[in-house]
Amino acid sequence: MLEEIGGFALRDVPTPKPGSHDVVLRVLAVGVCGTDFHIYDGSANYHLDSFRRPVPLRQHPLVLGHEFCGRVETVGDAVTRCMPGEVVIADQVLNCISQGRQPVCEYCLSGDSHQCEFGQELGITGPPGAFSDYVTVPAINVVKVPPNMSSLEAALAEPLACVGHSIERLERAQSRYQFAGAHKIRSVLVLGAGPSGLLFVQYLRSVIQFDGELLVADSRGGRLALARRFGAVTVDIRTEDLPERVHAHTRGAGIQCVIEASGSGRAIEIVPSVARRQASVLIYGSGHAGLSDGCLTPFQTAELHLITAAGASGGFDADGAPIAYRTALEHIGAKRIDVASLVSHRYADFSELQSAFTTDRKSVDYIKGALVRSEPA
């Protein structure tokens, strides 16, 4: 439990009991997300009261963890879509569909359930997440994991679903440069080769079959090596001037699509110096500390088309299951996306997991951490 900024504590709590439409999962694997880091260090607090004021951790301690896979332990008496012993992942958003609200809000109606007017997110906005032995979720939120997939791979379907949703928003945007259209995107720059940046590279190359110029900028050698393995040209910003490299690579034309996946304020400020006029700019990373005053003026003068994205919306199957999560599992199962290679640090229990927050994330070889407690039988 995160009981104060920078302060975890191990606590014994009652094992949750399912409501009639819920399932209790025994957590098998859970990823550590950048959002978890932001909540831990106090740079973000998404738990708000009815007046949209942040609720202090001391008032409501938070169990983090929203990228997870678990084995069904118990089910409510009205649950028929899964049974004890099955391995599943879950959409962590408690939306109108999963809460049985009628009528559903405008966001859930349009398939944008991550923005649900009445929604809550496990491990983020107050309800307990998966840094726990057990977690309770609505049965309608779960998707069964294929038998040949590890619990770690399945848990990382959540960040992949978020990336898929982001690309969909980019493709739907009415901007000059699109992946299909009169002005087809032929150059993409991904800022940041962390887990999200590396997923974007794979998604572009392997899912939407983008065959144009794909550059990735970062400062860590291991991350850049993975980006090259996944099909990108890399720029090491420790030794190379990014704008110079970009303009040399594009013969002065500039980048048509920039994906900001680092959460760095410096990355935001550098976008206008690498982007072509009226380029598409996807803001995916969060945090962006250190932004200087007036940084949006260059965006305005170049008429850059800004697209923002968060979460894993994407509509529902006929039975109410979240499409984005099912699709992410399909991409992993088909070997289009390699999620396991992104995990540089694995932890066996909760006491070990805390080192991801205190020391490991600062190491040069850190990409992503995950708690892996056991594999499905």
- As its CATH architecture, domain 2-156+343-372 has Alpha-Beta Complex (3.90)
Query: What is the rounded CA–CA span in Å between residue 236 and residue 10?
Result: 40
Candidates 15, 21, 38, 239; catalytic one? 38
Active site residue 47: no
Percentage, residues of the chain above pLDDT 90: 89
Q: Is the Cβ–Cβ distance between 19 and 76 less than 8 Å?
A: yes
pLDDT at 377 over 70: no
Backbone φ and ψ of 161, nearest 5°: -60, -35
Query: What is the rounded CA–CA span in Å between residue 119 and residue 312?
Result: 13
Query: What is the rounded CA–CA span in Å between residue 339 and residue 206?
Result: 13
What is the per-residue pLDDT for 290? 79
pLDDT at 274 over 80: yes
Backbone φ and ψ of 317, nearest 5°: -70, 175
Confidence band for 321, pLDDT divided at 50, 70 and 90: confident
Query: What is the rounded CA–CA span in Å between residue 73 and residue 147?
Result: 17
Over range 305-309, report the average pLDDT.
Answer: 94
Residue spans of the domains in the chain: they are 2-156+343-372, 163-308
Q: Give the global pTM.
A: 0.96
Strands (E), 102-254: 120-121, 134-138, 142-144, 187-191, 213-218, 233-236
Active site residue 239: no
What is the per-residue pLDDT for 374? 67
Over range 213-237, report the average pLDDT.
Answer: 98
Same CATH topology for 2-156+343-372 and 163-308: the answer is no
Which of 325, 315, 323, 322 has the alpha carbon at shortest distance from 109?
Answer: 315
Candidates 15, 21, 35, 359; catalytic one? 35
Domain 163-308: homologous superfamily in CATH:
NAD(P)-binding Rossmann-like Domain (3.40.50.720)
Q: pLDDT by residue (tens digit) across 73-103? A: 999 999 999 999 999 999 999 999 999 999 9
pLDDT at 275 over 70: yes
